[in-house]
Amino acid sequence: MLLWVVASLVFLMPWLTLELLFLSVEKSPLVCHCRKCICCGRDAFLRDPNSTCCKYVLHVKAVGKINKLLAIPMILLLFVSIFSLYSVHLLLKTANEGGSLLYEQLGMKAFGMAGKLAASGSITMQNIGAMSSYLFIVKYELPLVIKTFMNIEETTGEWYLNGDYLVLLVSVILILPLSLLKNLGYLGYTSGFSLLCMVFFLIVVIWKMFQIPCPMDSDIMNMTLVNVTLAPLLDQNITSDDMCKPKYFIFNSQTVYAVPILTFSFVCHPAILPIYEELKSRSRKRMMNVSYVSFFAMFLMYLLAALFGYLTFYGKVEPELLHTYSAYLGADVLLLIVRLAVLMAVTLTVPVVIFPIRSSITQLLWAGKEFRWWRHCSITVSLLAFTNMLVIFVPTIRDIFGFIGASAAAMLIFILPSAFYIKLVKKEPMKSVQKIGAAFFFLSGILVMTGCMTLIILDWTQNVASDGH
């Protein structure tokens, strides 16, 4: 009984906090009225972080993928969040000066068809990567939830425990109907609910750190030894005291994925301009205020989840943090609630992610054409079908994280906003501080993209070579 009371409070307290926040905001310039749908300041806030908040679960995988170190992800997290906010600033200023609130049209005005293709391709790649990652969570977590409910210890081949079948069912029954909605504003409540699910996930991660002892019980450790993450510890004969000390600076083959994962986690830029367009009395200052609140909330959630997740298991963190809890706790009721919350959050986020992809494709192929339901539905079904194919046939999301984060995410955060700013903002000379800063930001994006892609490809080739032996 106490557990359900605590769970209820966990869900209610963040919502009450948001209500109090936006009761005060309703008297501020952040309140907006959509031209095409009913919207308020709360929806603008929720849809902005919703572009990043469900990547929160994906970001927690960085705890496992960048395992056995602490300081590097914390430093990178701070810098990536600051760079992302600066990128939003450049994008909004360029939109005001360039006279367009569409990412693709800014690319068209700046560099012609090449700029439009770069913007459209980056948005499509980024959001398909996000959709694939969310559906990967459904594929791997939903069978475990069903097994827990049905008290099944071993999989015997039932179709309802097959992740491929389950992700197809969820896509057809839940995601497709929501994705076919014409206006984004109707998904404001689902965005708010998914945000609450992520807050609940974070609170449980923090709570469990104080419940799970370190070092773990010997039986649990022996059971977990099957995981390859513990093999190096056995080879080095590390004591239990050493296993419970954080490692701050250790570089391994997984460290190369730190920047792409964090960059991927902070991309919400394709959703910034549509939200900005819906503000009735819009101004760059008001939209930046929304962005400050959203990015700070996401930064705090990312930081706390990574920190407390790592400090719970240290070097024994698996690539899937929830699986690490399962190895220790087994069929835990609170862990089951967390899994359900995560599944609901990512399922409700996929329709939100489809909107900018569909808009980008429409702008690229049917710019200026009237809305047609057949086109709207065919694009949606095609996107979902393609994403499901990726989820079913690609064995791991690590490669998706690395490739999308190093390419499309770097384009959307670093390269395109700075390039558009330099090209379209005419009132500032090239030798001004603003233009020089944008130029350095552009060069940083090129460095991040080429450096990360090179290292990831080298890691792939090394893995292939090692598998060949």
State pLDDT tens for residues 266-302: 888 877 887 787 777 788 888 898 889 888 988 888 8
- 28 exposed, middle or buried (CB, 10 Å; 0-12, 13-18, 19+)? exposed
What is residue 188's predicted lDDT score, i.e. its pLDDT? 64
Maximum alpha-carbon separation in the chain:
68
Higher confidence at residue 124 or residue 217? 124
Q: How far apart are CA 289 and CA 146, in angstroms?
A: 42
Instruction: Tell me the average pLDDT across 7-11.
Output: 38
Other C-beta atoms closer than 10 Å to the C-beta of 198 total 28
List the structure tokens of 348: 């409700």
pLDDT of 437 strictly over 90:
yes
Instruction: Tell me the average pLDDT across 166-178.
Output: 94
Rg for the chain, CA atoms, rounded? 22
The pTM score is 0.75
- Each residue's pLDDT tens digit, 113-159: 999 899 989 988 888 888 888 898 899 889 888 888 888 777 677 88
Q: How far apart are CA 417 and CA 261, in angstroms?
A: 20
- Each residue's pLDDT tens digit, 236-274: 444 555 567 777 666 666 666 777 878 888 888 877 887
pLDDT of 342 strictly over 90:
no
What is residue 307's predicted lDDT score, i.e. its pLDDT? 84
Q: To 5 degrees, how large is the angle CA 437–CA 294–CA 82?
A: 25
CB of 42 closer than 8 Å to CB of 184: no
pLDDT of 15 strictly over 70:
no
Higher confidence at residue 194 or residue 171? 171
CATH number assigned to the domain covering 2-396: 1.10.4160
DSSP 8-state assignment for residue 225: T
